[in-house]
Amino acid sequence: MVGDSGYPRDVKRIALTVATVLLASIGFIPTAQATEKELANPDLFILGPFVDIMQKTYKYKCTYPAWDPKSKLTEIFVRCKKLNAEAYIHANAVPDGKDDRYVGGTLTYLSFTVKDAGLYKDLELHANACSGKVDPGFKDVNAGLTWFKENYKKVTNKKKLTKVFAGHSMSIIGGAGATRTVTCGVKPS
């Protein structure tokens, strides 16, 4: 039987069914895209090498990268710790289809906390890393670090100071006693 358009009705039904199944199945294919705004210079700030530096240079013990359960396989995170210090590293990534592995891993958020004034030099180095990430193209790589050094000892318990550099935020958060945290990027939701 032929429909009004000149095509057999069965062909129209088949085409409609194929189009519906195709559109519905696209949602099940692992095509998730990373969702967080990446920190500047993605070529220099990939999760794997950054974690290696944390472990080898700063002597942190870090967890294996894990998928952020809220991200639907678009974001990964790592936690690093050493005595009186900890770090949280968050990055965009996409699954590679094999086991729990991922492709990419460009940093989106960093958080470094020290609980001892003796580690403030480490915190300044971490602030330098944040500064390099929030200022694309290294136009003024020292801007964030200078701001941090001028302010982090002044930020008291439960206080937060934030400044935006080239569209990326950098914050100093005061804690009890000597505890200070520096963060950069968009905090994962």
What's the whole-number average pLDDT of the chain?
Answer: 77
- The answer to pTM > 0.85 is no
CA distance 179 to 9: 72
- Tell me the average pLDDT across 11-22: 36
Domain region containing 91: 47-185
pLDDT at 8: 54
CA distance 65 to 78: 5
Q: Are residues 64 and 11 in the same domain?
A: no
Task: Name the DSSP class of 8.
Answer: B
pLDDT at 135 over 80: no
pLDDT at 40: 61
Q: Are residues 22 and 52 in the same domain?
A: no
Contact in structure between 171 and 162 (CB atoms under 8 Å): yes
Q: Are residues 20 and 95 in the same domain?
A: no
Q: Are residues 152 and 61 in the same domain?
A: yes
Residue 37 belongs to some domain of the structure: no
Residue 100 belongs to some domain of the structure: yes
pLDDT at 140: 65
Quick one: which H or E segment has residue 97?
none
Alpha carbon of residue 88 to chain centroid: 9
Our count of domains for the chain comes to 2
Q: What are 92-125's pLDDT values in tens digits?
A: 888 787 776 777 788 889 999 999 999 988 888 7
Q: What are 47-68's pLDDT values in tens digits?
A: 888 899 889 988 999 999 988 8
- In a 3-state reduction of DSSP, which class is residue 39? coil
More confident residue, 137 or 60: 60
